[in-house]
Amino acid sequence: MGLKSLQRILLADDEPDILEVSRIALETVGGYKVAVCESGADFLKLLPEFEPDFVIIDALMPDMNGLEVLSQMRMVDGFRKTPAVFLTGLVLERDLRALRSSGAAAVITKPFDPMKLPQQINDIWREIDGE
């Protein structure tokens, strides 16, 4: 497929601690430019301004859930095919199945190791590129 190189990641999570440790790991270990936000509404506002190559969306946020955020992102010109990953604390198989069937590239369950996150994202990016 030949995706361009992965440089910019937009991350939405309503937990400030997760945002901070993930941002630091993605920037320092992964070398990515990262923008973070705490809600789906902020994510959709920041999306066209930041122009991410890849997005990470918390599945459960108070204003709108990750599936709603992804669905709305897919309606924005230029972001219909932007790779997306869900972060989630959900453990029921039916919930995970719904997230996987949404068109997201992957689902990463919480708790996760933030220091391994950059490699996970890089692996997902390479897998998408090989399709």
Specify whether the CB–CB gap between 125 and 32 falls below 8 A: no
Within a domain: residue 2? no
58, β-bridge pairs: 87
Per-residue pLDDT of the chain (131 residues; tens, 9 = 90+): 455 789 999 999 999 999 999 999 999 999 999 999 999 999 999 999 999 999 999 999 989 999 999 999 999 999 999 999 999 987 788 888 888 889 899 999 999 999 999 999 999 999 987 65
Number of domains in the chain: 1
Q: What is the pLDDT of residue 1?
A: 44
* Whole-prediction pTM: 0.93
Task: Tell me the CATH number at 33.
Answer: 3.40.50.2300
d(CA 51, CA 71): 17
Q: Can you give the residue range of the structural domain that contains 46?
A: 8-130
Within a domain: residue 3? no
